[in-house]
């Protein structure tokens, strides 16, 4: 007759199942993990999973909620605090700080997952499963709406669609890094063995994301340049050429076209403007409209000043100063 040890009461069993599911989710993703793997790792039988959770789907919901619920509560609390302190002076750095600071704080707490917390966060937002995506969209919709609204206030020059794309790209790239198993080793390599505290890490991360979010909308000439690149690539593939061969063959016509444009600028102008419309995809509609309506802005620095501002280039030092205030709870 098996004897149940005192450490294996119901609460301990439930925690071990959740811990096992979390580890497997981080390492394998939702689709690749099975209940058999979870029960084996947790050293429980299938009946225990059914008793505590009822199904794999319910188990994964509980596993994500026990970490992400607290994270998002802390995020909203910090964003509300910044809102109360700053009002209309809320900056992009403050909104990013409200997103990242709670995550870093929780990753330093072994009671809520420790270093694995960031990997869980990265996996959750990069997992291709529709089940995971639907859960996050439904369960944390109000949080996403709240932060998107804050970003809109901090970046009023960006059309809603453009802001959505930029956040999607930036957060997706960040999540991919967090989901990797070599993040710690990369940090050590990039810092050349020197210690990097939360302030330095957030400053570097935010300086990159702020620059991406505040980048000016592309104007018609930039769109024409990229359209020409796409057109050249398409022509090269059609001719069965790629790499240097394609460049060499296309070099002469390109030079001739440039010479003709210099000689007849009035006649070639309509041709340059036609490129964006010819190669534009559905996702570029808002950008072309902004360019054609004359709403594209001049390059701006992190503080909103023109790109030729002599104070531009403070870089990590400026971001560090900003996040020094955020980490110590000041506006």
List, as one string, the DSSP characters of 56-72. HHHHHHHHHHHHHHHHH
Q: Does the residue 59 lie in any domain?
A: no
Q: Is there a single domain that holds both residue 144 and residue 237? A: no
Number of residues that make up the chain = 331
Residues 108 and 196 in one domain: yes
Q: Tell me: do 240 and 125 sit in the same domain.
A: no
Contacts of 223 (CB under 8 A, 6+ apart): 275, 276, 280, 284, 287, 288, 291
- Domain check: are 89 and 205 in the same one? yes
20 lies in the same domain as 115:
no
Of 128-137, 257-266, 299-308, which has the strongest mean pLDDT?
128-137
Q: How confident is the model at residue 331 (pLDDT cuts 50, 70, 90)?
A: very low
Co-location of 228 and 209 in the same domain: no
Helix (H/G/I), strand (E/B), else coil: 281: coil
The β-bridge partners of 52 are none
Q: Is the pLDDT of residue 294 over 60?
A: no
Mean pLDDT of 211-223: 87
Both 238 and 211 in one domain: the answer is: no
| Residue 308 in domain | no
What is the three-class DSSP state of 325?
helix
Residue 144 lies in a domain: yes
Q: How confident is the model at residue 291 (pLDDT cuts 50, 70, 90)?
A: very low
In a domain, 253, yes or no: no
Q: How many domains is the chain built from?
A: 3
255 inside domain: no
Query: Can you tell me the mean pLDDT for 253-263?
Result: 46
On whether residue 224 sits in a domain, the answer given is yes
Does residue 17 lie in a domain region? yes
The reply to whether 287 and 152 lie within a common domain is no
- CB count, 10 Å around CB of 319? 24
Average pLDDT, the chain: 73
Over 90: is that where the pLDDT of 162 sits?
Answer: yes
Q: Which of 194-198, 214-218, 306-310 has the lowest mean pLDDT?
A: 306-310
306 burial level (CB within 10 Å; 0-12, 13-18, 19+): exposed
Average pLDDT over residues 9-17: 82
Instruction: Tell me: do 171 and 29 sit in the same domain.
Output: no
Predicted confidence (pLDDT) at residue 15 exceeds the cutoff of 70: yes
Query: What CATH number is given to the structural domain containing 34?
Result: 1.10.10.60
pTM here is: 0.64
Task: Report in angstroms the alpha-carbon separations of 317 from 81, 191, 207, 313.
Answer: 24, 16, 10, 9
Could you tell me if 210 and 229 lie in one domain?
no
Angle between the N-to-C axes of helices 35-42 and 10-28, in degrees from 0 to 180, rounded to the nearest 10: 130
Q: Residue 226's pLDDT is what?
A: 87
Residue 35 lies in a domain: yes
What is the distance between the alpha carbons of residues 197 and 118, in angstroms, rounded to a whole number?
15
Q: Are residues 175 and 320 in the same domain?
A: yes
Q: Between these two residues, 223 and 300, which has the higher pLDDT value?
A: 223
Quote the domain boundaries for residue 318: 66-216+314-327
Task: Point out which residues pair with 306 in neighbouring strands.
Answer: 300
Q: In terms of domains, do 114 and 184 share one? A: yes
- The CATH number covering residue 170 comes to 1.10.357.10
């Amino acid at each position: 007759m098996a004897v149940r040890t005192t450490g294996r009461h119901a609460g301990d069993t439930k925690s071990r199942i959740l811990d096992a599911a979390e580890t497997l989710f981080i390492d394998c993703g939702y689709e690749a993990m099975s209940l058999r793997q979870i029960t084996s790792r947790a050293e429980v039988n299938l009946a225990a999973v059914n008793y505590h959770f009822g199904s794999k789907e319910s188990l994964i919901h509980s596993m994500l909620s026990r970490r992400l619920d607290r994270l998002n509560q802390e995020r909203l609390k910090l964003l509300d605090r910044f809102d109360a302190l700053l009002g209309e002076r809320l900056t992009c750095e403050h909104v990013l700080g409200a997103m990242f600071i709670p995550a870093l704080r929780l990753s330093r707490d072994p009671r809520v997952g420790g270093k694995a917390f960031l990997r869980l966060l990265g996996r959750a937002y990069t997992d291709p499963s529709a089940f995971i995506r639907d859960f996050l969209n439904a369960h944390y919709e109000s949080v996403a709406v709240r932060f998107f609204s804050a970003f809109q206030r901090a970046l009023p020059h960006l059309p809603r669609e453009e802001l959505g794309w930029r956040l999607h790209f930036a957060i997706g790239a960040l999540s991919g890094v967090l989901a990797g198993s070599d993040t710690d080793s990369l940090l050590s390599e990039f810092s050349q063995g020197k210690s990097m505290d939360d302030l330095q890490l957030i400053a570097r991360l935010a300086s990159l994301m702020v620059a991406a979010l505040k980048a000016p909308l592309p104007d018609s000439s930039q769109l024409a340049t990229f359209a020409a690149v796409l057109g050249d690539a398409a022509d090269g593939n059609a001719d069965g050429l790629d790499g240097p061969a394609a460049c060499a063959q296309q070099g002469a016509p390109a030079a001739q076209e440039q010479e003709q444009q210099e000689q007849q600028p009035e006649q070639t102008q309509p041709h340059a403007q036609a490129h964006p419309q010819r190669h534009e995809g559905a996702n570029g509609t808002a950008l072309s409209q902004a360019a054609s309506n004359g709403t594209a802005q001049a390059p701006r620095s992190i503080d909103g000043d023109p790109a030729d501002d002599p104070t531009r280039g403070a870089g990590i030092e400026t971001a560090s100063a900003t996040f020094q205030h955020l980490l110590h709870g000041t506006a």
